[in-house]
Every structure is written in C-alpha cells, then in structure tokens.
Amino acid sequence: MKYAMVLVNIKGLGVKTFSYLIPDEMKDIIKIGQAVLVPFGRQGLINAFIVGFSEYIPGDFKVKKINKILDETPLFSIKYLKLLEWVANYYCTDFVTVLNAALPMKLIEKNAKYELVVSYIKEDNKLTKRQKEILECLKKYKKCSLIEFENIAKTTRATMKKLEESGYVEIREEYIYRNPLSIFKDIETEPLYELKGEQIEAYEGIKAKLKSQNPILLHGVTASGKTEVYFKLIKDVIDTGKNVLFLAPEIALASQLTKRLARKFGIKDVAIWHSSISEGEKYDVWQRLYKNEIKILAGARSAVFAPLQNIGLIIIDEEHEGAYKQTTPAPRYDARVVAKRLAQFHQAPLILGSATPDVSTYYYATNNNNLFEMKKRYNDSPLAKPQVINMQEYGKASYKGIISKPLQTEITETLERGQQVILLMNRRGYSTYTQCKACGTVIECPDCSIPMIWHSSIKQLKCHYCNKEMSFPDYCPSCGNASLATSGVGTQKIEVLIKELYPEAKVERIDSDILTRKNAHIELLNRFQKGEIDILVGTQMIAKGLDNPNVTLVGVLSADSGFSVPDYRASERGFQLLTQVAGRAGRGEYKGKVLFQTYNPDYYAFQTAKSQNYEKFFETEIKSRQEFDYPPFSQIVRLIISSENNFRAEKSAMEIAMRLTTMTEKFGFSEYLETLGPTPCIIEKLNGYYRFQILIKNKLSQKGHDFISKFLGKIIMPKDIRLAVDVDPLDIL
C-alpha cells in the first residue's frame, strides 16, 4: 500500500482524516491503530492515527510523508473501525463524527505519567519491628506508587530510602497507569453468593442460550437478585479467559456497580469508563484495555466504544433507560444497538436486564424465545401494592392542594418508626408556569415555545430547555395588568411544603438543578443510604437504583404528569417510572407502602402500574403500537429541520419531504417507507430556532434503511438551516 489515511485532531476543526505517503522503511511495520507523527501545514509535526490504507488517492496533489511511527503497538483494530463504520451507516451520519464520539481526544496527544514505584524484595530478622510492619503491608500490594504507599503505611520517605539502601525494597521510576478505581483500593473482596430458587432457573436458562445471536432478556422485578445472576455468569466467562462489558445507564449507577464488581472480582481486573473520568485516566484505561489487561469493564453509555478485547459477554442493566441513547450531538446512538452489533462481532451473548423492559425488547425476546423471568424479590419481601389517592376527591382537604391527608398520615407514621421516605415529583423548579390572572397569558421563553418556570432558590424564571433566566415581570406583557402569578408544582415547592409540615425531619432534594455541584447527586444518595436524610424529594433521578432497606414509604405526588405528553412512548415511560419508584419501597425486612396521587385513576398504564403487572401493560401497549405501526413494528427516522427564520425552515422541510416521497416511489420503496410531515414540532421553537419535523417510518427493511442513509448523505443544507437526523428517536416532541 502506498498511502495511509490518518486521523488528526486540529484545534478549532476537530477530528479530520487526511492522506499521507508511507515511506518504504515503514511499509512492513505500519498498522491500523498506530500513533504516528505527520507534518501538518504551519503547525509542523503533529500526532495522528492510522485509520486506513489505499493504493490511490483521489485527485492529483502532492501528499507529504509520514514522519515517524510513535508506538508500534496499535491502539485500536480494524475490527474496531468496522464497528464504527457500521454505527455511522446505521445512524445516517459520517464516520468522522462517530470517531469523534468514540475516541478520547487525549489519545491523540501523548499523555503518559511517570511516578516513583516501590516493590517488595525480601525480609530477614535484622529488621526492626516497625520495618517489619511496613514490609508486611507492602507485601499485600506487590507494587505501589511510593507516595500512596507512604500514606497507607504511615511512613516517611527517609524510612523507605533506608529500606531501599539495605536491599529490602526496590524504588524506581515507572510508567504508572492512572486508575480511576484507586478510591476503592481498600475494598475487601468477598465470594459470590449462592443463587437461590428463581435465580438458579434464570441462570441455567440463560447459560443454555449463550450461543444465541439475539439479545437475551432477564425480566426480574426490582430486587429479585438480577445483579447476582449476572455476577455468576461473569465468573463463568472470565474463567474461560474472556472479558466482560457491563453497562449501567448513568454514571452514579456505574460507580455503584463498579464498587460491587471490585468487591467480587478484585480491583485489579475491573475498570470503569464514562464521560466524566479524566482524559488522562481514559488514556490509561484505553491502553490497558487494548493490551488485554482488564477482564471486566463497567461503564455508562460511552463504554460501548472502549476497546475491550476478546469479549465473551455483554450485560446491559436497566436496559429500558433512555440514558443509553445519546440525544445530542450526533451520532445519536443507542448503546444497546451498538452493543448488539459488538456482541455479534465477538460472537458473544448480549444480556439485557430490567424490571420494566422496553416494549420492543420484550417483544423481540418473547418472539425469539429468549425471555427469562424472576417474579419474586430475592428475600421474598413482598412488592408493595400502590394505593391510589384520587385527588378529585382528596384535593381540597390536602395541604395547599398538593399533599393529601392520607400521604401526610403515612409520612408521619414512617418518620415515627425511624424509617425513610421517598417523594417523587417529576418536575423540577418551584412552579410549572406563570400566568396572568387577568388575560390568561402564560410567560414563555423568548427563544423556546415553552413556559418559563419559577425557581425560588435563585429567584428567577428559568427556561428548562435553553437555561435562559429572567426576573419575574411586574406587569403582564400582554395586557399590562399587575396580575401575574405562578401555578403548578415542581420539586422545589414540594421541598418547601414538606419542610413546613415536618420541621423536625431532615429533608433534601435531588433533581438536575443540584447537578451543578459535581457529585452532589452521589453524595446525597450516599447520605440517604446512611440514614442521614429522612425524606428525599426528587425527580425521576431518585427512582433508579436506590437499594435502601430502610425506605418504607414512596409517595408519587403527581402520578399522571408523565402520561400526558403527546408522544407514542409516553405510556411506556410513565409505567416504567411508577413501577421503578414503587420498587424502592420495602426492599428489606420492613413492609413498604406506596401512594400514587392522581387526577386520572382510570388510565390503563396507570392501572397496570398500580398492580405492577408488566404483562398486562405490554398486551395493551403492543396492540396500539401495531395498530399505528409504531416500533417495534416499524423503525422511525426523525428529521428535524430548523432555522432562525420560520419560513425558511418550513420551506426547506417541505422540499426534503417532497424529494423523499418522489425518490421513494421512483426506486420502488413505497412498500417499506412512509414519509409523514413536515409538521411543526410539538416544541415549535427551541433556542431561537423554529423547528419542523419529518418522520420516516420504515417497515423494518434493510434496503429501505440503506436508501434513507444514502438519501440523507447526499443532502446539502444551506448555511442558515440545520438538519438533525435521529434514528430510533427517544421521543418525537
């Protein structure tokens, strides 16, 4: 091969590929994935990566030579690039966009770290008692950063130097991997639990299916012991010398999981990967993964792109969570879809787990005979049956119209027993809208077509989409009367009301407004776990993962708020949220209670959530999906066309839709593809951009998909109009 395609990261331009000539002396050793130095314009020599080879280059221009191979060991493989190419095609985006999301930027710049390292050599009886203690301690570590060891053993540099001079230890400078797990280094390992009852059945059933090309679903109620089943399967896989990728939907859950894994499998074999570990740590974990030094990688969405070698099993826990899908920026990938492809590449099984599976996942698992169920909690503690408080009846007698009498009574009794309470309010902020009592005008964000929300903590109105803030207007912008008032309820108001009702209780709030403080969320969850908080108020962020046996009451303040959104997945999301949050109650030895406050007690998704009956919910839901040709009976590709100029956006959307329809007919795809729209998006204006959408429904045909991908690849948009392509969108708002 004559030319190499290399990837460079240029300030201001991002990641791009260029062609370079391969000098003769490099021809035998050059490989895909190697880091190289290349000359680049006025910047001189810069770092680059080999991503491909070719005999020819398009056009007739002079290309420069690669200057040097920096490291002969590649950092990714051809297989890896093939996966990224597949992702680019599936999500109708270009390869470089995917590379950009997958590769940590620092990988392209050298970023190693050298440190003093101490290791154990020998002991004898010439040692003092204290020296002996130090060596005993060092033995446990084999090798350790000197600074860290001095801390652990509570000793000094002078003492260590003395030990070195007498030949008991060795100290030298070494390349050190930054290990984001060092916080867990004192963790004691413990054996795996023996599985019991339903766990054994699920485990054996799954074992018999490990050759399956299709995802395996473990549908187990909250606290049925799914994680322990995964652990057993992991053990089997790593015993055969293969590696495991384990995904959790968000960083906090991935950290909890990593800790559990480190306890079971030892810290040395486990690594963590998510968007918040530092670039330096990413660089190091990447190297260790590529060198096959890690057996279990736990992480959030982006870990699906980490170069774990020799994969023998992929597990995705809480698979129904929207967080597995990247909504912005492109590539708008779903880690579950990428993981399925990755599993096929490695001929490894993919296990999806949830108490409330995605409707499509459940549908496919049933059809493929790949469904395993655990219906009881591990410790037999019963699932709390939610009690419904019809607010049409109880509303008037409740505290400020918001906290009903029965809920107040339950909170009081729970606190008296010294137990803990979770209150879910799925809207943040203080109120939900600000309205003029005289003319009915609602104050909207000037850039987005949605109401501004009052935040009492910052004393500002705030837009939840673009974060714009403004002070509370004295007069209505429409009629000029001084009669503006806030209405509706958000988490901040609940927090205030609860503090008024229970002045003695320790009350905290968790929602994305507190996330401005790094780790605030994890800290609060930890304090709640330790019993330092009595009542936790929050959005759906508190519905996930909490395993606190002392929580015996869960109250949902406005249980219908999730269902009223005009989106085909609204019922599914509402059902999942209510079932998940109900599952936080009574996980230990004490019985749990769950109260749903609602104005629509008869709605089906609500009724099934109340009885925690997934099958019943699924039956009704899948019928309506089939009737309207929604997933899993079709695949949706959503196009959003937006511009600061309303008319330009609409015109452009119309042109695209027209061309799409014409081409579909011309090439004979009408049977598979249906184009809907353009229509204004439900959120018509966002960040100052007017939005129109086109939905393409594909009746699950690969040819249809390839056609869409090609069609979109050819569209060139004018500068003032944006086109966003979202394959399998989470919502269509």
Residues of this chain that bind ligand ADP (CB under 6 A):
193-196, 199, 220, 222-228, 378, 547
Minimal distance in Å, beta carbon 322 to Zn ion?
Answer: 21
Closer CB to ligand ADP, 584 or 697, in the complex = 584
290 burial class (0-12, 13-18, 19+ CB within 10 angstroms)? buried
Closer CB to ligand ADP, 381 or 491, in the complex = 381
Helix (H) or strand (E) holding 557: none
Residues 6+ apart with CB under 8 A from 719: none
- Structure tokens that stand for 500 in this block: 């008024």
Told to check if 448 binds Zn ion by CB under 5 A, we report yes
Closer CB to ligand ADP, 177 or 203, in the complex = 203
Q: Which does 465 bind (CB under 5 to 8 A by kind): ligand ADP, Zn ion, none?
A: Zn ion
CA–CA distance, 657 with 110 (Å, rounded to integer) = 47
Minimal distance in Å, beta carbon 224 to ligand ADP?
Answer: 4
CB atoms within 10 A of CB 724: 17
CB atoms within 10 A of CB 5: 17
Query: φ and ψ at 511, to 5 degrees?
Result: -155, 180
- Of the residues 445, 476, 582, 681, which one makes contact with Zn ion according to CB under 5 A: 445
- Of the residues 148, 293, 447, 731, which one makes contact with Zn ion according to CB under 5 A: 447
Report the 3 state secondary structure along 484-509: EEEECCCHHHHHHHHHHHCCCCCEEE
Minimal distance in Å, beta carbon 583 to ligand ADP?
Answer: 8
**Segment near Zn ion (CB under 5 A), from 445-453, 583-591, 607-615, 670-678?**
445-453
Told to check if 466 binds Zn ion by CB under 5 A, we report yes
**Segment near Zn ion (CB under 5 A), from 140-148, 290-298, 344-352, 446-454?**
446-454
Q: Which does 225 bind (CB under 5 to 8 A by kind): ligand ADP, Zn ion, none?
A: ligand ADP
CA–CA distance, 134 with 160 (Å, rounded to integer) = 9
CB atoms within 10 A of CB 448: 21
- Structure tokens that stand for 726 in this block: 């979202």
What secondary structure letter does DSSP report for 13? T
CA–CA distance, 35 with 50 (Å, rounded to integer) = 7
Q: Which does 448 bind (CB under 5 to 8 A by kind): ligand ADP, Zn ion, none?
A: Zn ion
**Segment near Zn ion (CB under 5 A), from 86-94, 209-217, 457-465, 593-601?**
457-465
**Segment near Zn ion (CB under 5 A), from 373-381, 455-463, 566-574, 674-682?**
455-463
Q: How many CA atoms lie within 13 A of 592 on its CB side?
A: 31
- Of the residues 107, 463, 559, 582, which one makes contact with Zn ion according to CB under 5 A: 463
Closer CB to ligand ADP, 8 or 195, in the complex = 195
Q: Which residues pair with 18 in a beta bridge?
A: 6
Residues 6+ apart with CB under 8 A from 534: 415, 420, 421, 502, 505, 506, 507
Q: Which does 561 bind (CB under 5 to 8 A by kind): Zn ion, ligand ADP, none?
A: none
- Of the residues 40, 53, 465, 599, which one makes contact with Zn ion according to CB under 5 A: 465
Q: Which does 223 bind (CB under 5 to 8 A by kind): Zn ion, ligand ADP, none?
A: ligand ADP
Closer CB to ligand ADP, 531 or 668, in the complex = 531
Minimal distance in Å, beta carbon 351 to ligand ADP?
Answer: 12
Q: Which does 378 bind (CB under 5 to 8 A by kind): ligand ADP, Zn ion, none?
A: ligand ADP
Minimal distance in Å, beta carbon 614 to ligand ADP?
Answer: 14
Report the 3 state secondary structure along 183-238: HHCCCCCCCCCCCCHHHHHHHHHHHCCCCCCCCEEEEECCCCCHHHHHHHHHHHHH
Helix (H) or strand (E) holding 133: helix 129-141
Minimal distance in Å, beta carbon 689 to Zn ion?
Answer: 10
Closer CB to ligand ADP, 251 or 355, in the complex = 355
Closer CB to Zn ion, 338 or 448, in the complex = 448
Told to check if 453 binds Zn ion by CB under 5 A, we report no
Tell me if 271 sits within 8 A of 160, measured CB to CB: no
Closer CB to ligand ADP, 248 or 267, in the complex = 248
Tell me if 717 sits within 8 A of 658, measured CB to CB: no
Residues in contact with Zn ion by the rule CB under 5 A: 445, 447-448, 463, 465-466, 468
